[in-house]
Amino acid sequence: MRSVLRCSVMFLSACLVLASCQKGQGPEDSLDESGGFGPSCDEVATVLAGVDEVSPLGFAAADVLAIAAGEHTTPMVWAEPFDDGPILVEFGPESGESELTATITHEGGEIRHIVSTPEEGEGWDDEMEEYCPDYMAIDVSLRLVSQGGALDENVDAVLIAVTPAYSTIYEELALDEIQGSFEITRYEPEDMKLTPMVVSIGLSKFGMTGSAVGGVEIEGGGDGGDSWVGFGQVDYAAWPGGEQQCNPGEVAAPIDGAFQEFSGQDVLDLIGAAAGLTLTWEGGEPSPVVVTASHEDGAICFTATGGYEGGSLGHLRMDASATVAAEDGSMDGTFDVVVRGRPAADGTLEEAGLSVYAPYATQMPIAQFEETYGITGVDFTGYERAGLDFSGNYMPEGGVAGALTVLGIIPADCDDIPPGEGCEGDTIDEIAMATWGNQ
């Protein structure tokens, strides 16, 4: 048994600060414009001769525009008013379900190849270079119209692409210059500052995704005391609507949709084809085991920003359900996992994997643990809760290597801790381990 972690009972939340950038300059210093490429990148632009010139990225603007140009229509959903403590933001006139049409045209606008590298002195290492990938920037015209007319915009925009399969537009709209009927109908407190609306659009063969968000800025203190500034994000709308299951910079695809050379179904098929698997508990004998994975619903997400050298472009992730059944009965359960697919340089499937998401943060009563995972023979004496760390990697040639660890948890008792003093947090011990696979 090894004691590996004392979990903190306090969690830190991350804030995303949206910076502005001069239109047409590309995403060098702005998270809005870059779609997450990195906030501090040195960039050098080279103007290309036209849409047919192949850039050093290996594709031409014509390849990008073959997917991005033209009219794109998608369902959209307007968000509920923002109401969080002292901050209130209401807007209209549209609400609920709607429809959004974006029309993108290129009429001789400048086309640039951008070489991007992390700024010196920013604490970046070689592995962080994927956050500053090289990309293509194409000056285009954007017509953006919502069904009820709240958005009715004609603007110059920059189409950004690291691959012809996916391109993005990040456009900042000053609230008092929006050409449609959108308006802020009420906001509190009245001295609060509302930042521009940032419209993000992602375009791929699977359709159009994106959102419209804004921000609030509040200042406090002063008059001899410490002054402070607070920021918050206001969601206005999202498309295609509902819960956005993929992250910014990811493309949502159907189970049989391939962003490059493999689909989510291909990943599941690789997992399902694995043969000759055994499960071996520490100190025990191998037992034949069957491991399967299935996907019922939810998005299949492909990473669509970053370069091949960074190893991120085309990565797949999806929520799935895994079933593990050992012949000796030591494990027989069905539980949630994250399935991933890693592409090779040519876009084909190089490796698949599955794992329990955040195992050290996911815990349950021991009786529920035993029912969920069907794990028997583990001594939980002295522990109140349990968790499981489970993962496996699959190679196209059939090799499989996996491991699991049973976690025994003693919850922290922080009730008697005086205010202002930290609590050590839960005690988490690794109390049983096993390997599985065919290697």
Average pLDDT (109-119) is 91
Can you tell me the distance from the alpha carbon of 24 to that of 32, in angstroms, rounded to the nearest whole number?
A: 13
Percent of the chain with pLDDT over 70: 84
User: Which token pair is 364?
Assistant: 């349950």
Strand, helix or coil for residue 74: strand
User: Beta-carbon neighbour count of residue 199 at 10 Å?
Assistant: 25
Higher pLDDT, 23 or 410: 410
Average pLDDT (221-226) is 65
Please answer whether residues 88 and 216 qualify as being in contact, where contact means their C-beta atoms are separated by less than 8 angstroms. no
pLDDT class of 232 with cuts at 50, 70, 90: confident
Please answer whether residues 249 and 303 qualify as being in contact, where contact means their C-beta atoms are separated by less than 8 angstroms. yes
Strand, helix or coil for residue 34: helix
pLDDT class of 34 with cuts at 50, 70, 90: very low
Please answer whether residues 119 and 42 qualify as being in contact, where contact means their C-beta atoms are separated by less than 8 angstroms. yes
Q: Which residue type occupies 158?
A: V
Beta strands in 327-373, from DSSP E residues, in sequence order? 332-343, 349-355, 364-365
Q: Per DSSP, what are the bridge partners of residue 212?
A: 199, 237
Please answer whether residues 252 and 300 qualify as being in contact, where contact means their C-beta atoms are separated by less than 8 angstroms. yes
User: Which token pair is 316?
Assistant: 């797949």
Higher pLDDT, 11 or 370: 370
Can you tell me the distance from the alpha carbon of 316 to that of 337, in angstroms, rounded to the nearest whole number?
A: 14
Instruction: Report whether pLDDT(129) > 50.
Output: yes
User: Which token pair is 258?
Assistant: 């391939």
44-66 per-position pLDDT tens digit: 999 999 999 999 999 999 999 99
Can you tell me the distance from the alpha carbon of 91 to that of 149, in angstroms, rounded to the nearest whole number?
A: 14
User: Which token pair is 185?
Assistant: 């109908």
pLDDT class of 122 with cuts at 50, 70, 90: low
Please answer whether residues 426 and 410 qualify as being in contact, where contact means their C-beta atoms are separated by less than 8 angstroms. yes
> How far lies 318's CA from each of 155, 204, 307, 327, 433, in Å?
35, 18, 21, 28, 26
Residue count of the chain: 439
263: left (phi over 0), alpha (psi -120 to 50) or beta: beta
Please answer whether residues 6 and 425 qualify as being in contact, where contact means their C-beta atoms are separated by less than 8 angstroms. yes
In whole numbers, what is the pLDDT of the chain averaged over residues? Answer: 85
335-362 per-position pLDDT tens digit: 999 999 999 989 999 999 999 999 988 8
Domain residues of the chain, as ranges? 31-244, 253-437
Instruction: Report whether pLDDT(278) > 50.
Output: yes
Average pLDDT (68-72) is 97
User: Which token pair is 54?
Assistant: 């192949």
pLDDT of residue 11: 21
Q: Per DSSP, what are the bridge partners of residue 136?
A: 113, 161
pLDDT class of 118 with cuts at 50, 70, 90: confident
Average pLDDT (260-280) is 96
Instruction: Report whether pLDDT(419) > 80.
Output: no
pLDDT of residue 121: 63
Q: Per DSSP, what are the bridge partners of residue 43?
A: 116
Q: 249 — phi, psi (to 5°)?
A: 85, 5
Query: Buried (b) or exposed (e) across 320-351, using 16+ Cβ within 10 A?
Result: bebebbbebebbbbebebbbbbbbeeebebbb
Instruction: Report whether pLDDT(2) > 60.
Output: no
80-110 per-position pLDDT tens digit: 999 887 889 999 999 999 999 999 999 999 9
User: Which of 22-36, 203-217, 225-239 is the least confident region?
Assistant: 22-36
